[in-house]
Structure 1
Amino acid sequence: MPPSNRLKIEAPKSLATLVAQRLREAIIDGEFALGEMIPEETLASSFGVSRTPVREALNQLQLAGLVVIRPQRGSYVFEPTEADIAATCEFRCLLEPRAAELAYRNAREATAAALQAAISEMEEARAARDAVRYGRADTRLHEAFFEHCGNPYMQAAYATAATKIAALRTHLSAPADVLRAAGFEQHSKLLALFRAGEFVEFEALMRTHVTGTRNSYVASLKSRAAA
């Protein structure tokens, strides 16, 4: 007989992986600004580790697009260009509606429940004027389509940009989104269209929503540059 799963031992996560997870959260939540230098020595001291796992963590985050390592200069949080933002948003416009349609076929109720939970969290975050909490809930809403779509290739494709998308959302749009109703109302409408299986209208609204996000990102970038 095969051994019970109760006897399975999970390998502990490496120090580099733990550091990468915490640093990823810090970048996404806005604890580091876009373009800010990430001092290895300070991080190592804060985590109570040597600089080796910090360097390994930074290499992992560079692969995810969150960090740029410049030889002889140091490591920096990524800084998007307008072209990068446009490409990311077009990627979303192409992939998210299809993922939503597959999620509807594959796990309709579970997806709808995840969307509703995210919207409820966003509503509470708006009431509290908590941009980080709003951004996290916004991210969970959009990722729910991929989580339930049942297509591992589509999930892998989205994963190549998901962390960067989450960071852009927190840094460039969530501070404004938490104060205005338009984006929140679009999310609620997307849920209604998903439940109804109206994917022609869903795709059109998703493109409108993501295009608005792109414009918000670009305006925020220009404002930051002017400041």
Structure 2
Amino acid sequence: MRSLKLDTPKSLSQRVMQRLRQAIIDGEFALGAAISEEMVANSFGVSRTPVREAMGLLQAQGLVVIRPQVGSFVFTPSAEDINALCTFRIALEPRAAELAFRHDRDGAIAVMNDAIAAMEPAIAAKDNIAYGRADTAFHEALFAHCGNRYLVESYQLASGRVAALRTNLTSPIDVRTRTSFDEHRKLLELFACGDFAAFEAAMTTHITNSGVVYARALKVEAVDAD
């Protein structure tokens, strides 16, 4: 694991939370892995109190499961969780896209273009973390530019889990094939011309395919663990 270092401002527990959140999303902690409060506190050079508070914040985001008297663990979704998460995204992302098109079309396109540009070298280097971050930036652009804070807050309830599942389960496949990359280019093309019937259909297929990969990968991991 890379050394855990803190960036600047915010409360100590917020800073610990943000660093741990990124570590989970980037796969430094595997899905289902135990997170030792003592190890994190020692690595950060802080007491266990802000670490415990950070774990509580991560639990609220669905990234950590705290089992009293047992410990803290990175979330592991069930098949039902994955299905519900994909249904949630399919309901929200096309609506966010329509609003972003009306509210700040150029801003959204610029970010989505940058994300696609970042995917190219990630594929060449087979860097699933860089690809996952670019993929996340692409989808989050729809919310960042939609102009509706309630839609943004709703998506934030699941965004950490979505990002973590990308890096851990789909990005290792996405950097070996160009299927995901081509789907993102098509989504941008449909968004740019405002064809939202086709965009919704393409996004539904894209998210559904991701869900299938999530479920398959988790099944393989479960077999390997036996």
**Shared fold per TM-score greater than 0.5:** yes
Which residue of the partner structure matches residue 50 of structure 1?
Answer: 47
TM-score with structure 1 length normalisation? 0.94
Which residues of 2 match residues 97-108 of structure 1 at below 5 A?
97-108=94-105
Consecutive aligned runs of 4 or more in structure 1 exceeding 3 Å deviation: none
In structure 2, the partner of 1:81 is 78
Distance across 1 between alignment mates of 2:9 and 2:75:
29
1:87 CA drift (Å): 0.4
The Cα of 1:218 is off from its aligned counterpart by 0.5
Gaps of 5+ in 2: 1-7
Aligned position for 1:62? 59
Tell me if 1:142 matches 2:139. yes
How many residue pairs are counted as aligned between the two chains? 217
Q: Give the C-alpha shift of residue 172 in structure 1.
A: 1.1
Return the TM-score normalized by structure 2.
0.94
Three-state SS of the structure 1 residue aligned to 2:189 is: helix
The one-letter amino acid of 1:110's match is: G
The alignment partner of 1:179 has SS state of coil
SS state of the match for residue 22, structure 1?
Answer: helix
1:18 to 15, 19, 25: 15
Counterpart in the other structure of 2:106: 109
**1:81-119 superposed Cα distances (whole Å, 9 cap, x missing partner):** 010000000101110001001100111111111110000
* Amino acid paired to 2:128: A
| Cα separation, 1, equivalents of 2:35 and 2:205 | 35
Q: Larger radius of gyration, structure 1 or 2?
A: 1
Contact 2:126 2:176 in 1 (8 A): yes
Q: Which amino acid aligns with 2:205?
A: T
Q: How many angstroms does 1:16 deviate by? A: 0.8
Gaps of 5+ in 1: 1-10
Corresponding residue for residue 129 of structure 1: 126
Identical pairs, percent: 56
Three-state SS of the structure 1 residue aligned to 2:46 is coil
Q: Residue 204 of structure 2 aligns with which residue? A: 207
State the alpha-carbon separation in 2 of the partners of residues 17 and 91 from structure 1. 27
How far residue 12 of structure 1 moved from its aligned partner, in angstroms, is 4.3
